[in-house]
Amino acid sequence: AKNSNQSNNQLNGKVSNDDRRAEFFARKHRIVQQRKSLPIASVEKRLVEEVKSNNILIIVGETGSGKTTQLPQFLFNAGLCHDGKVIGITQPRRVAAVSVAKRVAEECGVQLGQRVGYSIRFDDTISRSTRIKYMTDGLLLREALLDPYLSRYSVIIVDEAHERTVHTDVLLGLLKTVQKVRSGPINECSKIDRMKANNGLLMEKENDAQRASILKQYRGIKLSPLKLIIMSASLDARVFSEYFGGARAVHVQGRQFPVDILYTHHPETDYLDATLITLFQIHLEEGPGDILVFLTGQEEIESVERLVQEKLRQLPEDNQKVKVLSIFSSLPSEKQMQVFMPAPTGFRKVILATNIAETSVTIPGIKYVIDPGFVKARTYCAHTGMESLIIVPTSKAQALQRSGRAGREVPGKCFRLYPESEFEKLSDSTIPEIRRCNLSNVILQLKALGVDDIIGFDFMEKPSSEAVLKSLELLVLLGALTEEYKLSDPVGHQMARLPLEPIYSKALILASQFNCLEEMLITVAMLSVESVFYNPREKLEEARTAAKCFSSLEGDHPTLIAVYRAFDEFLEKSNLGNSREKTEKNLRKWQIRGNIEQMGLHIVSCGDDMLQFRRCLAAAFFLNAALKQPDGTYRVLSSGQVVQIHPSSVFFRTKPDCIIFDEFVRTTHNYVRNLSSLLSTIPCKSRSRSRIHGLNLKDDRLLFVWRGLVELHSCTGLRWTAILIHPLGYC
Ligand code: ADP
Ligand code: MG
């Protein structure tokens, strides 16, 4: 019996291996067919010629025509990676960089990380043999800090340029300069060094050692010309062409089937409810075909998913054959890839997506699109200095892109959940992000690149000078810039090296003085990545109960630390040493740790002394301090803004008198999220008179403010109840 069992197993093993092989070849064949049928495939030769004969090329092509996945492969095959150079493709979104790299690696039949790889903040799969590298636009900007002429790349493709993220805009400005230098007659390093003064170029480093080391890497290297390709899904190539001095633009013809656009008769009061009704109407009344629904974010997607499942269960069994999938940026990448898989036979796929699915990724099989007409967008108020994400109506361009998703493979239908008259009122296109975000991060990076005159920088679209000034002011208050707006040494240089928002970088640098760097690293790693707590829906209740056990009376930050530690311990105990989550989480922490250690900062833990940790938080986040008012709302000290505690906070019910927060969320209320309480005196370590390093609290009341802050706010007209400035600048 034993023997026959064994042979059975062997037999099974063999059969399944054969099956797997057959499946592998079938898939390979499908991919070859799919690639051949893409609109871009028929113009490969022409495109390669255009790239070879133009140093700057603008390529406009409909979403799904194959730009992102195919063009880099065409260029690789045409030999544009000479001398071990790399083709870099930037994406505004992490999800797109990862999913496209995976797809292209598969198309090329190579392992991810070999010829094809991706690199995003806190995660990369790049090796020495990588020639096609997908990355975020922000990441390439950071690379420029260490390699200002991007000498590793022979071609840089700025993809999804129509999205006009702040990083894309800044990158375009930078690439324009880099390209000029690399294509110019003088392209040897020593000469570049001499040229820079004339051109007002990069590398006006204050830090000589750093500058020398950067120059050293170029010594003896002849920089070859850089090919620059700007790709966009919007038909208007003019803005890009004009910005690059009349650069050549080519159009890739897409293939688009007609899409029926349907509007509602009246405006909807609850667009999520309307979405559900429409979804089931399509499912029950329309023919086969997958449905794509555009929602604004993770929370919305998860709640709609729950409701869809609930409703499905009430339907007769025959009608329950629906596979609901979602895609949003903080979804783990294995889950993101599931949306590309075909639904089981007889099933209808419903995909709940953020605007990622507008142009960044194309999901096969879609015939119906539901567009409630909203999107989450960054907004910035230069007056208060507060940045937030709010839900706003889409632009016409976005609505058109969304409906276009329905007609990729067959004629489709798009259900816009608003009346036609509303469509006419939408703005034509979205305002570039640079006009509506906090600029302190990019300013810090530009300064580190030697661009001193921010307002004079060759932006495609200038940010408002008010926003630039406010961000400069913030950087001065954080100590990253001197009062002459020069990068400070060492704090400014240190901050520029960390891939974090300036305020988090500052918190880490201060934490080494407050002996709580270990705790701050955990906090920053957890806060700087969108929703580190990925709560799979089924586990939500469990997760909530678990989180309650850890909730600390001292605030959300200490709670985060407790959760992280418990999770770490749990993984250790349950022998999940190699689990993906563990590596992912630790990676973030350790990657920043690498940067920190290079700076020579000491990583020590304050143990259970959370008071010390909160002092440090206060010293870094002092601009985000708020005092409770008699009616239970809070008033932000630096801006005067009135805010409320977000329901997710441990302080939602027990409101402390003074808090610091690190996120401002604008929904129906002005909420602040991730809070810690400030209760005791915070000794200020600074001896400098003109710079604030924190605020001082005593008896729950604000008593001392540093001079800089007072000056700042007296000029914005804020009144304080008790202000005392110590003549020596510290107390
Ligand atoms: P574009 O950049 O022009 O919008 P892409 O190169 O992103 O187009 O997509 C080309 C095609 O590749 C699309 O039809 C899309 O469905 C397909 N595709 C992209 N990624 C995947 C994937 N992970 N799995 C299956 N198909 C994919
Ligand atoms: Mg694309």
Residue with token string 């690399």: 182
What pLDDT score was predicted for residue 428? 92
Residue 134 near residue 124, CB atoms below 8 Å: no
Is pLDDT at 327 greater than 90 in this prediction?
yes
Is pLDDT at 534 greater than 80 in this prediction?
no
Task: Calculate how far, in angstroms, residue 99's C-alpha sits from the geometric centre of ligand 1.
Answer: 9
The residue that leads in pLDDT, 537 or 435, is 435
In this structure, what is the dihedral angle of CA atoms 497, 499, 501, 502, given to the nearest 10 degrees?
-10
Which range has highest mean pLDDT (45-59, 548-562, 627-641, 677-691)?
45-59
Query: By CB neighbour count within 10 A (0-12 exposed, 13-18 middle, 19+ buried), where does 454 fall?
Result: buried
Q: Provide mean pLDDT across the span 89-101.
A: 93
Angstrom distance (rounded) from CA 304 to CA 354: 12
Q: What are the residues facing 248 on neighbouring strands? A: 57
What pLDDT score was predicted for residue 590? 63
Q: Mean pLDDT of all residues in the chain?
A: 81
- 75, 103, 253: residue to mutate for ligand 1 pocket, most atoms within 8 A of CB: 103
ipTM value for the complex: 0.98
Task: Calculate how far, in angstroms, residue 560's C-alpha sits from the geometric centre of ligand 2.
Answer: 37
Angstrom distance (rounded) from CA 156 to CA 88: 5
- pLDDT, one tens digit per residue, over 373-386 is 999 998 888 877 77
Ligand 1, atom nearest to 62 Cα? 3
What pLDDT score was predicted for residue 107? 95
Instruction: Flag the least confident range among 57-61, 211-215, 316-320, 662-666.
Output: 211-215
What pLDDT score was predicted for residue 677? 81
The confidence band for 582, taking pLDDT boundaries of 50, 70 and 90, is low
Residues near ion ligand 2 (Cβ under 5 Å): 67-68
Instruction: Flag the least confident range among 127-141, 235-249, 568-582.
Output: 568-582
Task: Kindly state the tokens that stand for 58.
Answer: 């603008």
H or E element that contains 40? none
- pLDDT, one tens digit per residue, over 401-419 is 999 999 988 999 999 999 9
- Residue ranges with strand state E in 667-717: 670-677, 696-698, 701-704
Angstrom distance (rounded) from CA 402 to CA 372: 10
Task: Kindly state the tokens that stand for 316.
Answer: 């007769």
Instruction: Flag the least confident range among 420-424, 477-481, 709-713.
Output: 709-713
Q: What is the pTM of this model?
A: 0.83
Is pLDDT at 389 greater than 90 in this prediction?
no
Instruction: Flag the least confident range among 256-270, 299-313, 626-640, 701-715.
Output: 701-715
What is the percent of the chain where pLDDT is above 90? 44
What pLDDT score was predicted for residue 657? 79
- pLDDT, one tens digit per residue, over 167-208 is 999 999 999 988 888 876 544 444 445 444 333 344 444 445
What pLDDT score was predicted for residue 250? 95
- Residue ranges with strand state E in 216-365: 227-232, 248-252, 259-263, 290-294, 322-327, 348-353
What pLDDT score was predicted for residue 728? 28
Q: Which ligand has its closest atom nearest to the C-alpha of 360?
A: 2
Q: Which ligand has its closest atom nearest to the C-alpha of 92?
A: 2
What pLDDT score was predicted for residue 548? 65
Helix, strand, or coil (residue 249)? strand
Q: Tell me if the bond preceding 490 is cis, omega within 30° of 0.
A: yes
Residue 706 near residue 691, CB atoms below 8 Å: yes
Is pLDDT at 430 greater than 70 in this prediction?
yes
Ligand 1-lining residues (CB < 6 angstroms):
38, 61, 63-70, 99, 103, 340, 362, 364
- 69, 112, 229: residue to mutate for ligand 1 pocket, most atoms within 8 A of CB: 69
347 residue type, one letter: F
What pLDDT score was predicted for residue 194? 41
Ligand 1, atom 25, lies closest to the CA of: 340
Q: What are the residues facing 261 on neighbouring strands? A: 414
Angstrom distance (rounded) from CA 177 to CA 141: 13
The residue that leads in pLDDT, 669 or 372, is 372
Residue 278 near residue 373, CB atoms below 8 Å: no
Q: Provide mean pLDDT across the span 382-394.
A: 85
Query: By CB neighbour count within 10 A (0-12 exposed, 13-18 middle, 19+ buried), where does 224 fall?
Result: middle
Task: Calculate how far, in angstroms, residue 67's C-alpha sits from the geometric centre of ligand 1.
Answer: 9
Ligand 1, atom 21, lies closest to the CA of: 103
What pLDDT score was predicted for residue 191? 46
What pLDDT score was predicted for residue 329? 83
